[in-house]
Amino acid sequence: MIANSLETNAKVFEPGATIGILGSGQLGRMMAIAAKQMGYRVHIFSPTHDSPAGQVADLEIQASFDNLAVVERFAQRVDVITLETENIPMETVLVASQSAPVYPGLKALEFCQNRRKEKMFLADYGIPTCQFEIVRSLVELKSVCRYMMPAIVKTTTGGYDGKGQFLIQTPDQIEEAWHTLNANELIVEEFVEFDYEFSVIGARSSAGVFAAYPSIRNEHRDHILNLSFSPSGLSDQLNQRATEIVYEIMNEMDAVGVMAVEFFYRDGEILVNEMAPRPHNSGHLTIEAHVTSQFEQHIRAVCGLMLGITRQTIPAASANILGLEWNQSKSPTWQLGLSMPCVKLHLYGKESPEEKRKMGHMTALAQSAEKAKQYVVAARRLLNIPAMSLNANGTS
């Protein structure tokens, strides 16, 4: 843990204070659960009613993020505010910050809301990232693709989980990419032939104290995180280098809370893909496998408390449960999925299981990350075996 420019006068919000969360999905829900456990009151600002986070909070205010009068009233009734997603309109954040401190902070949000600014930030600080160009017309896109092919083209704002992205592999796809993404500005990235992806989650408190979790290895399916596991197998040296990068990014952005930095590992080098200034899907396994979960850590950081120990106590792997698990069996067979004692289930309280919607996740704990991975994949597979096809021994 590194103490950096410790501000002894940073405001501390003790348990009993009220935390406001802008956004109401699963990240808000798990933040709220951690905060409630520590004795905080939690108010959720949610565009929808009975949201995943609203279900576990003291209060859910339902309004659109651009209803600034409601945002103002919400902010006046809480002590400190945080965000569960970086994609909250800046105007909303500015209005809220007139009444209470808002974390991760304006600078971090500004960079993380826009892929152009995010990549420029990395380039300015000499942090390794992939080759990229910004284009604002089809002509510019065609000219960049002459020397960058294959390329991943992304909208600079609003994309997540692979939305707002297009992989261009041949020149005849350029026009299709431009029209499909339909934006004024795109970022064109070289397609990185990485060996694997990993993330490092850092935490920085409002008092400037920094801590980081050991790296977590990530595997995606259709651009959506599928599996995460830790220990990641990354060398100590690269783990250290990645942690230094996270420290530098959080410090320079003056980010408060937790931040996940996603990396590509390619042939002995590491490249930053992107940053998320909030708890991250890859960090869900910290709930069971680390002394302090990323959610508790986030609450500690935004409340100005001392950060918790980030040490991992047991190898772990987590797997997302998407809506598609509901397709084969009408309702997943939870009883079977939970038949392995080393597997934990988290469901987010979402009603409609759309195919790519993150409905929950499972985490397995084992003697190695490889074993944990096998267990969690097996447990998820069991969700799709209809209970009635089992014999008396519980096997199919």
Binding residues for ligand AMP (CB under 6 A): 130, 152, 162, 189, 191-192, 197, 220, 223, 262, 273-274
How near is the Cβ of 303 to ligand AMP at its closest, in Å? 29
Nearer to ligand AMP (CB atom), residue 108 or residue 187: 187
Q: How far apart are CA 263 and CA 198, in angstroms?
A: 5
User: Which amino acid belongs to residue 9?
Assistant: N
Q: How far apart are CA 132 and CA 197, in angstroms?
A: 19
How near is the Cβ of 153 to ligand AMP at its closest, in Å? 10
Nearer to ligand AMP (CB atom), residue 79 or residue 274: 274
Query: What residues does 80 pair with on adjacent strands?
Result: 19
What lies within 8 Å, CB to CB, of 228 at 6+ separation is: 199, 216, 217, 218, 219, 281, 282, 283, 284, 285, 317, 318
Tokens standing for residue 382 = 């069991």
Nearer to ligand AMP (CB atom), residue 73 or residue 221: 221
How near is the Cβ of 222 to ligand AMP at its closest, in Å? 9
Q: How far apart are CA 115 and CA 129, in angstroms?
A: 12
Nearer to ligand AMP (CB atom), residue 15 or residue 150: 150
Tokens standing for residue 82 = 């945080």
How near is the Cβ of 147 to ligand AMP at its closest, in Å? 15
Tokens standing for residue 15 = 């348990």
Tokens standing for residue 157 = 């704002």
How near is the Cβ of 119 to ligand AMP at its closest, in Å? 10
Alpha carbon distances (Å) from 60 to 46, 95, 109, 335? 7, 19, 23, 31
In the chain, what's the furthest Cα-to-Cα distance?
66
Among 59, 31, 30, 33, CA closest to 46? 59
How near is the Cβ of 264 to ligand AMP at its closest, in Å? 7
Q: Which helix (H) or strand (E) holds 361?
A: strand 358-365
How near is the Cβ of 355 to ligand AMP at its closest, in Å? 18
Nearer to ligand AMP (CB atom), residue 224 or residue 377: 224
How near is the Cβ of 156 to ligand AMP at its closest, in Å? 11
Nearer to ligand AMP (CB atom), residue 84 or residue 262: 262
Task: Decide: 382 and 396 in contact? Cβ < 8 Å.
Answer: no
Start-end of H helices in 254-384: 286-289, 294-302, 325-328, 334-337, 369-382
Task: Decide: 153 and 164 in contact? Cβ < 8 Å.
Answer: no
Nearer to ligand AMP (CB atom), residue 262 or residue 296: 262
Nearer to ligand AMP (CB atom), residue 221 or residue 381: 221
As a whole number of Å, the end-to-end CA separation of the chain is 49
Tokens standing for residue 257 = 């809370």
How near is the Cβ of 191 to ligand AMP at its closest, in Å? 5
Nearer to ligand AMP (CB atom), residue 189 or residue 288: 189
Among 127, 132, 82, CA closest to 294? 82
